[in-house]
Structure 1
Amino acid sequence: MPVDLRHVARALISVSDKTGLVEFARVLATHGVELVSTGGTRKALAEAGLAVRDVADLTQFPEMMDGRLKTLHPKVHGGLLAIRENPEHEAAMLAHDIRPIDLLVVNLYPFESAIAKGAPFEECVENIDIGGPAMIRAASKNHDDVAVVVDSDDYAMLVEELAATKGATRLATRRRLAQKAFARTAAYDAAISNWFAQQLGEASPPLRAFGGRLAEPMRYGENPHQSAGFYLTGEKRPGVATARQIQGKQLSYNNVNDTDAAFECVAEFDPARTAAVVIVKHSNPCGVAEGATLVEAYAKALRCDPMSAFGGIVAVNRKLDADAAREIVKIFTEVIIAPDADEESISIIGAKKNLRLLLTGGVPDARAAGLTYRSVSGGFLAQSRDSAVVDEMTLQIVTKRQPTAEELADLKFAFRVVKHVKSNAIVYAKGAATVGIGAGQMSRVDSSRIAAHKAQEAARAAGLTTSLAKGAVVASDAFFPFADGLLAAAEAGATAVIQPGGSMNDKDVIAAADAQGLAMVFTGVRHFRH
């Protein structure tokens, strides 16, 4: 049976992140722990006045090859791997002068930081740690006897345990630390392998791994009977994962998912060109608009579907100002996400104690490459992010009637939005604002009819007698397989259509558009979102 309490007599410490290092090492010293260290870590401890032994004294082998070779030695790994009270292991240690190491404190070379800042290839390679993961895995395997710490956040917990046990670690603690340590090396190797695949241009490497660090446990998942956690991959893309939460209660699983959808959609609109607002409900935009100001854009976005906006997520592409904040808080809103916010808007939102305000420091680049993942039973799907943007597409006008300049601007606007609506997706837009959205239907004609119905309901809510779809344009995320979806749009009052094209029945659909006097544009790019 494993021994519960293991006294810590010797600790090997080698860290790149020295946060809290000296204070932690001082506590170890008060418990009589012998400190062994390497390079910069040993220097930092020595300069703090702590007695610390160089690992080279332990191994009787000098550090060499620019630090690549220093801990890969039997006297290090034997001290970590030896099973206490095992006669054969004890005999080997005695014969080869190997002394046990009871505590390993290691955090790895900052590879993730190097790739995040876009460091040159050679610098990234030099930031691949070898000795660190080897030691972590050795200590973690031998967790019955050795404690391993890979995160400075765990120093305080271990300090408390050493005080409570008079300098020992508990088996349960060692096992928890070992689990975390194995996860850390797995995530580290995943980052390296995925970076290599990217450098080589391999979209689907033979083996794919990914990992993440727990940001926070969620109260529950999509539903109360499901457990969930929010994990960070280290990707520096501005968004919900990297945002500062200024105020409000804890985000839920659904909040995180919906807020990400909202901010990715608003990223389609260049803040240097226009103010834009996206309102999302259940991962689908229910109102999107551009305007000269955020408050103007919000009013236009809200008009599209004021009922669905209740309890929704609001994303803006510019610094949130007081005028916009005052309007947003007039109805119940779950989350506001913005690149920044002025003090007055923060104060206004502060009056709504449960309303979450997230500030990201920037807007994600809609064109940037990246990977997205989705789980399936027994595996997962990985694909490149949909980074196609309408401004870079070659638009083909396929009807007899050319779109007007106003229609073309709205067609581009609508195609930016439809990219972020669940398929089958139809978006009606007019005046740089959505006026009707049909999402997630099995039939594209049903999405067309739902979008038209939404436009009629929006008009009714605004006190108008004519549907907002009258004189609007329509975007479809994929081609119309038959003319019925297009005819439904024409019946609702649409004047122009943008769609990918590529159907076997394109000629029939074009003929139907011509018969209705519609202008139609093909993009050649599909935006399925399942």
Structure 2
Amino acid sequence: MRALLSVSDKSGVVEFARQLLEFGCELVSTGGTARLLREHGLPVLEVADFTGFPELLEGRVKTLHPAVHAAILARRDEPSHMEQLARFGYQPIDLVVVNLYPFDRVVHADTPEAEALELIDIGGPTLLRAAAKNYRWVLPIVDPNDYGRVAAVLAAGGPAVVPLEFRRELAAKAFAHVAVYDAQIAAYLRHDQFPDLLPLPLEKLRTLRYGENPHQVAALYRIRGYPAQIGSWRTIGEVELSYNNVQDAAAAWQLVWRFEQPAAVIVKHAAPCGAAIGETIADAVARAFDADPVSAFGGIVALNRHLDEPVSRALAQHLFDIIIAPSIEPTAEALLRRRKALRIVLAPPWCEPPVIWRTTADVALVQTPDIPSRAPQSWRRVTTREPSEREWEDLVFAWTVVPFVLSNGVVIARDQQTVGIGGGQPNRVDAVRLALWRAGDRARGAVLASDAFFPFPDGVEVAAAAGITAIVQPGGSKRDSEVIAAAERAGIAMVFTGERHFRH
């Protein structure tokens, strides 16, 4: 039995190689892996000695030789294959232990191309593809976590007793390993944001507690090559995150970092139900909860400031599923961990990715993130009345929140606190009514943000009757003149942003 070992991730390889030797396996290796094995006193045959050829082209050619690839690709049940091996003096290779250096860890968008090209592995992927193609006779091993499983099977009687399904599993993992590697290289080389072929390198982080519903199975993957965000979250608590937890926490975390001031956001079912800024984070938390205490029950709270003990005591008075913050005081953590079902997530500040993905049925939708590009200074007042200074501040605040509300989205805000949110309705006037119903008496003297234009004046008329004093919306309706006239009649100040913010 012969094994070829050439690994970037060297965790566990020495012990695995030692076990292979105990099974009577000859070790063939290259470069750093060979040096590591020798340092631990293990006998290793260099590939150059195995092939009879030295490394060529400054190491670009090491394993690309028939002595290696014929030994891997030969079908053991095909007499002509075995006869050809014997004619040239080649002996079969039974195990290929190879994993590739994660391209995204050493190559970034600003890495010089000449340097990046030299880091592209040719021999490693070729070895893995050959072994995976011939998995019925050759074991392709890319994951150090599989070393123990392989050793246990070999201990039972050598390669001949390895179950076919286990071999197929290892082959599939090897092809996936190469595919992810190639996808990372393609991402570095391409300049087109939406190319004809767009491979997505996904790496599983963990299995989730369940999917959208308890009977659904789900897992969390990270996109390799993208800045680590959700993948770098650290979860504290006894209960694992579910699919919905990740969705809701991500929505809350994205919104809270749209504010420079101390801010708190509470999300329930992927939509904000309370958002506020304050002089302190404690003030922001209290105001976000006060925005809609009923909906906040069992929600997810995001803070854009350090979580200290006084704030944790305030949060502990209510039932939340998750609290997400950039950092936490040890005493605050100890206090909150008394609630067994509560998860604390520590996360770096949100950084918008270059594109966002969503799958539906058999297709993937890809788009750039929805980041408002028109500053308030560019907004256009369309009514006679100018918004007051307080109204301007609240309009900006409401406009910051509304892109995170399911369309049709409407946000009512006062003193930089949401007091009523309506979204996910098939028509805009119903979204206005829902937001006003949630706001109640607090709608009087408040402002309203609409994520898209008002197609009819009815939404403005309903808002005016409830006491709304200023409105921000994109404009662009065929009936803009009627909508503006309705605002004028009610004495409402209205501004157009010229930019829509639907969220589906």
- TM-score over 0.5 (shorter chain): yes
In the alignment, structure 1 residue 80 sits paired with structure 2 residue 54: no
Partner of 2:435: 451
What is the 5 A alignment of 1:54-133?
Answer: 54-115=46-107, 119-133=111-125
Amino acid at match of 1:377: A
Provide the C-alpha distance between the structure 1 equivalents of 2:31 and 2:422, rounded to a whole number of angstroms. Answer: 61
1:116–1:236 CA contact under 8 A, matched in 2: no
Q: What SS does the aligned partner of 1:380 have?
A: strand
Provide the C-alpha distance between the structure 2 equivalents of 1:166 and 1:352, rounded to a whole number of angstroms. Answer: 51
Amino acid at match of 1:284: A
Partner of 1:224: 214
Q: What is the CA-CA distance between 1:391 and the residue it aligns to?
A: 4.4
- CA distance change for structure 1 residues 95 and 288 in 2, over 3 Å: closer, same or farther? same
Amino acid at match of 1:324: V
Partner of 1:464: none
Partner of 1:242: 232
Provide the C-alpha distance between the structure 2 equivalents of 1:189 and 1:412, rounded to a whole number of angstroms. Answer: 44
Partner of 1:459: none
In the alignment, structure 1 residue 399 sits paired with structure 2 residue 373: no
Q: What SS does the aligned partner of 2:442 have?
A: coil
Provide the C-alpha distance between the structure 2 equivalents of 1:383 and 1:248, rounded to a whole number of angstroms. Answer: 36
Q: What is the CA-CA distance between 1:356 and the residue it aligns to?
A: 0.9
In the alignment, structure 1 residue 488 sits paired with structure 2 residue 462: yes
Q: What SS does the aligned partner of 1:409 have?
A: helix
Partner of 1:257: 247
Partner of 2:183: 190
1:133–1:185 CA contact under 8 A, matched in 2: yes
In the alignment, structure 1 residue 375 sits paired with structure 2 residue 359: yes
Amino acid at match of 2:350: P
Partner of 2:194: 204
In the alignment, structure 1 residue 384 sits paired with structure 2 residue 368: yes
In the alignment, structure 1 residue 476 sits paired with structure 2 residue 439: no
What is the 5 A alignment of 1:158-169?
Answer: 158-165=150-157, 169=162
1:110–1:127 CA contact under 8 A, matched in 2: no
2:4–2:93 CA contact under 8 A, matched in 1: yes
58-67 or 100-109: which moved more? Answer: 58-67
Q: What SS does the aligned partner of 2:404 have?
A: coil
Provide the C-alpha distance between the structure 2 equivalents of 1:236 and 1:346, rounded to a whole number of angstroms. Answer: 30
Q: What is the CA-CA distance between 1:523 and the residue it aligns to?
A: 1.8
Q: What is the CA-CA distance between 1:324 and the residue it aligns to?
A: 1.7
Q: Which runs of 5+ in 2 are unaligned?
A: none
119-128 or 173-182: which moved more? Answer: 119-128
Q: What is the CA-CA distance between 1:429 and the residue it aligns to?
A: 1.1
Q: What is the CA-CA distance between 1:18 and the residue it aligns to?
A: 1.9
Q: What is the CA-CA distance between 1:393 and the residue it aligns to?
A: 7.3
Could you list the per-position Cα deviations for residues 121-150 of structure 1 after superposition, in whole angstroms to 9, with x for gaps in the alignment?
443333332222222111111111111121
When normalised by structure 1's length, the TM-score is 0.90
230-239 or 338-347: which moved more? Answer: 230-239
Provide the C-alpha distance between the structure 1 equivalents of 2:115 and 2:316, rounded to a whole number of angstroms. Answer: 48
Partner of 2:501: 527
Partner of 1:501: 475
- CA distance change for structure 1 residues 162 and 96 in 2, over 3 Å: closer, same or farther? same
Partner of 1:24: 16
2:201–2:224 CA contact under 8 A, matched in 1: no
1:390–1:415 CA contact under 8 A, matched in 2: no
Amino acid at match of 1:313: I
In the alignment, structure 1 residue 305 sits paired with structure 2 residue 288: no
Which residue, out of 147, 150, 174, partners 2:167? Answer: 174
Provide the C-alpha distance between the structure 2 equivalents of 1:94 and 1:306, rounded to a whole number of angstroms. Answer: 79
- CA distance change for structure 1 residues 389 and 329 in 2, over 3 Å: closer, same or farther? farther
214-223 or 313-322: which moved more? Answer: 214-223
Could you list the per-position Cα deviations for residues 99-137 of structure 1 after superposition, in whole angstroms to 9, with x for gaps in the alignment?
211111111132121345853444333333222222211
Provide the C-alpha distance between the structure 2 equivalents of 1:441 and 1:115, rounded to a whole number of angstroms. Answer: 45
Q: What SS does the aligned partner of 1:36 have?
A: strand
Provide the C-alpha distance between the structure 2 equivalents of 1:58 and 1:110, rounded to a whole number of angstroms. Answer: 27
Q: Which runs of 5+ in 1 are unaligned?
A: 1-8, 457-466
1:147–1:177 CA contact under 8 A, matched in 2: yes
Partner of 1:434: 418
1:109–1:128 CA contact under 8 A, matched in 2: no
1:237–1:364 CA contact under 8 A, matched in 2: no
Provide the C-alpha distance between the structure 1 equivalents of 2:188 and 2:466, rounded to a whole number of angstroms. Answer: 49
Q: What is the CA-CA distance between 1:449 and the residue it aligns to?
A: 0.7
1:312–1:334 CA contact under 8 A, matched in 2: yes
- The number of residue pairs the alignment matches comes to 503
Could you list the per-position Cα deviations for residues 477-519 of structure 1 after superposition, in whole angstroms to 9, with x for gaps in the alignment?
1111222222222222221111222222222222222222222
Could you list the per-position Cα deviations for residues 158-178 of structure 1 after superposition, in whole angstroms to 9, with x for gaps in the alignment?
333334446764433222111
Q: What SS does the aligned partner of 1:58 have?
A: helix
1:369–1:387 CA contact under 8 A, matched in 2: no
Partner of 1:4: none
Give the fraction of aligned pairs with identical amino acids, expressed as a percent: 47
Q: What is the CA-CA distance between 1:209 and the residue it aligns to?
A: 1.9
In the alignment, structure 1 residue 286 sits paired with structure 2 residue 266: no
Could you list the per-position Cα deviations for residues 251-281 of structure 1 after superposition, in whole angstroms to 9, with x for gaps in the alignment?
11111111111111112123xxx11111111
Q: What is the CA-CA distance between 1:14 and the residue it aligns to?
A: 1.3
Partner of 1:35: 27
- CA distance change for structure 1 residues 119 and 328 in 2, over 3 Å: closer, same or farther? farther
1:480–1:503 CA contact under 8 A, matched in 2: yes
Q: What SS does the aligned partner of 2:366 have?
A: strand
64-73 or 518-527: which moved more? Answer: 64-73
- CA distance change for structure 1 residues 165 and 496 in 2, over 3 Å: closer, same or farther? farther
Provide the C-alpha distance between the structure 2 equivalents of 1:452 and 1:107, rounded to a whole number of angstroms. Answer: 58
Which residue, out of 43, 49, 58, partners 1:51? Answer: 43
1:147–1:174 CA contact under 8 A, matched in 2: yes
Q: What SS does the aligned partner of 1:340 have?
A: coil
Amino acid at match of 1:258: D
Could you list the per-position Cα deviations for residues 389-415 of structure 1 after superposition, in whole angstroms to 9, with x for gaps in the alignment?
564873222222222222222211111
Provide the C-alpha distance between the structure 2 equivalents of 1:348 and 1:122, rounded to a whole number of angstroms. Answer: 53
Which residue, out of 331, 341, 350, partners 1:344? Answer: 331
Amino acid at match of 2:179: A
2:30–2:47 CA contact under 8 A, matched in 1: yes
- CA distance change for structure 1 residues 237 and 143 in 2, over 3 Å: closer, same or farther? same
Q: CA RMSD in A?
A: 2.1
